[in-house]
């Protein structure tokens, strides 16, 4: 068994590598650039939403407060007529990239901690690179990639976006696993 605090270096270094890799994915390779499409009549829709003064949050149209309402003829008619909408509203002004990037880095640290915990409980000091790589890689992949699948299952996110995010998760998991394998306690 290897304690988490003994793995602080691979946790932090893998987080830095994932941070750099994700920056390259989004700023250089740009295969995510078409994940979100432009809304037809974007200005008119934005102006209409502004006039409604909707508080920041997540919304769904049509909305039902429970299964009884979902089964009502009125709700079923709304579903039939469409459109169905899942909408995230945030306040005006430019979102802070500093906050988003800080949260992303901290998330990568948390993934590293979980990977360290799982591998540290399953493996002892001095095990082979491949053994560490497998435990850390599977754990990191599950953290980075699999949670996003439910957005396609439940919230209609296009599967192409989810598959690209899964590829990113695989890349981040490989970087994390390689770092842990390299810096594992001998």
Task: Note the pLDDT of residue 148.
Answer: 95
Q: Cα dihedral sign for 70, 75, 76, 78?
A: negative
Q: How far is CA 181 from CA 110, 122, 174, in A?
A: 18, 14, 10
**Within a domain: 87:** no
**Within a domain: 88:** no
Q: Do the Cβ atoms of 28 and 130 come closer than 8 Å?
A: no
**Within a domain: 71:** no
- pTM (predicted TM-score): 0.92
**Within a domain: 21:** yes
**Within a domain: 67:** no
**Within a domain: 86:** no
**Within a domain: 118:** yes
Domain membership of residue 24 as a residue range: 4-37+95-183
Q: For residue 111, which of 119, 99, 101 has the smallest C-alpha distance? A: 119
Number of domains in the chain: 1
Residue ranges of the chain whose pLDDT lies below 70: none
**Within a domain: 103:** yes
Long-range Cβ contact pairs of 161-164 (< 8 A, separation 24 or more): 161/32, 161/35, 164/31, 164/32, 164/35
Task: Note the pLDDT of residue 94.
Answer: 86
């Amino acid at each position: 068994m290897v304690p988490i605090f003994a793995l602080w270096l691979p946790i932090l270094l893998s987080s830095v590598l994932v941070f750099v890799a994700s920056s390259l994915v989004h700023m250089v390779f740009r295969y995510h650039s078409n994940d979100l499409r432009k809304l037809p009549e974007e200005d008119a829709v934005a102006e209409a939403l502004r006039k409604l003064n909707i508080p920041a949050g997540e919304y769904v149209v049509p909305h039902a407060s429970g299964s009884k309402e979902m089964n009502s003829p009125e709700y079923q008619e709304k579903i039939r007529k469409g459109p169905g909408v899942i909408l995230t509203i945030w306040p005006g002004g430019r979102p802070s990239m500093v906050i988003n990037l800080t949260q992303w880095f901290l998330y990568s640290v948390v993934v590293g901690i979980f990977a360290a915990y799982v591998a540290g409980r399953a493996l002892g000091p001095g095990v082979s690179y491949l053994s560490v790589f497998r435990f850390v890689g599977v754990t990191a992949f599950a953290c980075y990639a699999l949670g996003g699948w439910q957005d396609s299952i439940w919230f209609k996110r296009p599967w192409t976006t989810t598959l690209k995010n899964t590829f990113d998760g695989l890349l981040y998991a490989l970087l994390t696993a390689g770092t842990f394998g390299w810096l594992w306690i001998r």
